Amino acid sequence: MEKYIIEGGYKLHGKVSISGSKNASLPILIATLLTDNKVILHNVPKLKDVDTTISIIEFLGKKVVWKDESTLVVTQSGTAYKEKGFVVAPYELIKKMRASFLVSGALLANYNKVKTALPGGCAIGVRPVDIHIKAFEQLGIEHYIESGYEVFIKKKRVPKNSVIKFRYPSVGATENILMFLSKIPQQVTILNAACEPEVVDLANFLKKLGVQIEGAGSRTIKIVGCKKFTSSDIEYTVIPDRIEAGTFIIAAAITKGEIELNNVEPQHLTFVINKLRKSGLVIETENNKIYVLWKKSLKPQNITTRPYPYFPTDLQAQYMALMCTLKGSCVIKETVFENRFLHVGELLRMGANIVVEGRKAIVFGVEKLKSAEVMVSDLRAGAGLVLAALAAEGVSKISHIYHLDRGYEKLEEKISLLGGKIKRIDE
């Protein structure tokens, strides 16, 4: 089993290049199923979740080749596997990650009968797909569950001027429905849509195919699909990963360092940046760069995780690690997922003082975190533990780091280049 060995107490300083967004790359890769044309995608990170998505779309008829370190070329090589008239996305592939359920929207755009296994991913809560399913049903899709598979049958045409409203602004549901509607040549309005930058990125990719979309990035999206996509090759560049960028901003803060982040969109992190500035961290932005400098002791700040543009749940664990090192106390409320404090127990092993009350964690700062052997429970919890270890006194050992490989490209390499003492071992 691979583990990280991290010696804490070293300030991170220097420049780091942020990779392309994992959470934007996955739906865009799945959206290539909508077209037979060649698609060239730039700024794609090499991650386990990207590899899983490539395996899925190759099973469904695509050929994918890495042209260079961050460029993928996707072409048509066959047809999707069918079983008794149904196109099937099998359990062996879908079980590996949450985003794989997005194939249902893309496949329903292409076929009338689809079977999709229920998805997997990080164990951070229920994350039901009922929002996706109810939206499909509102658009005339028949649905039932059979032998562990979600079964979808397209029997009716989408009603004219349809309006669907999500009970919660789900990123996945918004992306799934956009892909499904991409080939339906009439207007559909989505209310209470997710407005995350990754949704906007998918919408911009679909526009390249010829789909008309208005309002992406707001709570109301209007989409008019097209019967025939553009006949030319598609070339598209994925946005930078705002969660990786936020992780390195917090890494500079927790190690009292100085970091310049390149290939980043500062506006995607406005709320996070303002919150950290309020704590006393010096942050300057310029075009596609963010400069972070620790100049004085920081003051703890309360946060509540909420959908974009507010504080992202994917940075909650990293932020908590930072708060553990500050003098004073703060309250962290988790409103997105009901089981996203799995890192608390591991932080306690490092000497943190945290009290959890339901979806609220009260963090009391300690003078110094101590090294310990800890275990990663999910992707972002793992990032929080890495940051805690970088600030801790002594040498920490972190296991189950395969979770981190799902979402952080060359993490130990980037930390090492910034002066952090981290190495990967196999034992």
Q: Which residues have a catalytic role annotated?
A: 122
CA distance 370 to 354: 15
Rounded Cα distance between 355 and 344, Å, is 9
Q: What is the 3-state secondary structure (H, E, C) of 4-36?
A: EEEECCCCCEEEEECCECHHHHHHHHHHHHHCC
Picking from 388, 346, 351, the residue whose alpha carbon sits closest to that of residue 366 is: 351
3-class DSSP assignment, residue 337:
coil
Cβ proximity of 396 and 371 under 8 Å = yes
Residue 279, amino acid: S
Tell me the β-bridge partners of 395. Answer: 7
Kind of pairing, strands 289-293 and 282-286?
antiparallel
User: CB neighbours of 103 closer than 8 A, spacing ≥ 6?
Assistant: 30, 33, 56, 57, 60, 89, 94, 116
Phi and psi (nearest 5°) for 23?
-75, -10
